[in-house]
Amino acid sequence: DNEWQSAFVVTDAGVIVIDAPESFGKGIPAAIANVTGKPIRFLIYSHIHRDHIGGSAAFKDIPGLKIVALNSVSEYLKEQNDPERLVPTETFDSHKKIKLGGKTVELTRHFYHSSAGDLFIYIPEAKFLMAVDCVTPGYAPFHGFDITDNFGDYLKVFDQLLAYDFTTFCGGHLTQVGGRADFHVCP
């Protein structure tokens, strides 16, 4: 929607969705149905913020859906009791791999932005990496680095992301996806 981004991967056994932004999350299931008849099996939360997961209520009636997030994200959402942000059904502490229909999604916890933790979301078969609210391809960082909780960890995130073998990067905001070149500001 030119402000927020989400992603999904279609596998032989179903669809894995990453984030359901408040602004357009309600339209994601229908958009996926226009691409594939495969069922949505997983919804992954990158972190706690409403702007990225506040549209998850659109997924509440999907049978067998697994909502995956960090334990800390789940605990926060239980306290908030927000009907627009569904409580995760599968949680983990620091690392998780989801394997579905020949694809793997690797989730790794970091603490560069949200007080409850942030995820690096990596799909090795697609060389796709998503880390929300840290790098916005084609743009300078948000004023004041948005609401980053830990600036020291934020500065480490660039080298940590470059350690992955990716060609496509999604930062969760604005108008475009990027790649490795978006991490290099000096020759």
Taking 70 as the threshold, does the pLDDT of residue 37 lie above it? yes
Judged by average pLDDT, the poorest of 16-30, 73-87, 99-113, 131-145 is: 131-145
Rounded Cα–Cα distance for residues 42 and 64 (Å): 9
Provide the Cα torsion 155, 156, 158, 160; round to 10°.
Answer: -170
Mean residue pLDDT across the chain: 88
What phi-psi label fits residue 183: left (phi over 0), alpha (psi between -120 and 50 degrees) or beta?
Answer: alpha
pTM over 0.95: no
Q: Which of 134, 155, 161, 157 is nearest to 146 (CA)?
A: 134
SS3 121: strand
Taking 80 as the threshold, does the pLDDT of residue 152 lie above it? no
Angle value at C-alpha 179, between 174 and 181, nearest 5 degrees = 110
Taking 90 as the threshold, does the pLDDT of residue 92 lie above it? yes
